[in-house]
Amino acid sequence: MENFDEIIQKLKTKRVEFVEGLSDGEVSAIESELGFTLPEDLRQFLQTAVPEGGAFVNWRSVEDVRKRMDDVWEGIAFDIRVNSFWYEGWGEKPASLEDQLRVAEEHYRTYPKLIPIYSHRYMPSSPTSAGNPVFSVYQMDIIYYGYDLASYLEHEFDFRSYESLFSDEHPFRRIEFWSDVVG
């Protein structure tokens, strides 16, 4: 598993502020309240130190985490309503907008939840082993932003180029639905 001490030191050079890491009790409360288990690498990072301020999630506010998670569904629903988005994996597109939203939401609820990291960057909750990709999610404009948490943080804060994320050495783990809609 990744040692995040070095990455945290790099992030501090970019003026990212950190506070004390989450306790086991805080992690358990977040997971219980929000219905997911943190992937191992995200858990390790947040228990080492918690980034604070700016576009980072306030991990000590379940409401903030929940709101950011809800933003994902709101973006999908917006693209269904306004841009006629429809994913072929949902089956035949219903005639009414109400039915489209219902069917899409039924499917959405079965997919791995996206856990907010920073701004509109998310990591899937499943699998819970280290190594899930990080996605940039803005409505249905979804792209990879890191093949794992460490590569994402290095990319987001300009320690690694976007192009360097794509290599045979570090393939992106496939995540149900989310990998299928990457643009």
Tens-digit pLDDT profile for residues 148-168: 999 999 999 999 888 888 887
Q: Is residue 178 part of a domain?
A: no
Full DSSP string of 37-69:
---HHHHHHHHHEEEESTTB--TT-HHHHHHHH
pLDDT at 1 > cutoff 60: no
What is the spatial distance between Cα 179 and Cα 183, in angstroms, rounded to a whole number? 9
**Residue appearing with tokens 């920073």:** 118
Which CATH number is 95's domain given?
Answer: 3.40.1580
Q: Is residue 136 part of a domain?
A: yes
Other beta carbons within 10 angstroms of residue 63's beta carbon come to: 9
Q: Is residue 176 part of a domain?
A: no
Contact 74, 82 (CB under 8 A): no
Other beta carbons within 10 angstroms of residue 179's beta carbon come to: 15
- For residue 101, which amino acid is it? L
Q: Is residue 71 part of a domain?
A: yes
**Residue appearing with tokens 């794509």:** 166
Averaged confidence pLDDT in the chain = 95
What's the pLDDT tens digit per position in 13-48?
999 999 999 999 999 999 999 999 999 999 999 999
Q: Is residue 70 part of a domain?
A: yes
Cα 94 to Cα 25, 80, 103, 105, 183: the distances in Å are 44, 11, 8, 13, 24
Distance between alpha carbon 106 and the CA centroid of its chain, in Å? 20
Q: Is residue 177 part of a domain?
A: no
Query: What pLDDT score does 118 carry?
Result: 97
Total-model pTM? 0.94
> Could you tell me the residue range of the domain that residue 120 belongs to?
5-165
What is the count of structural domains for the chain? 1
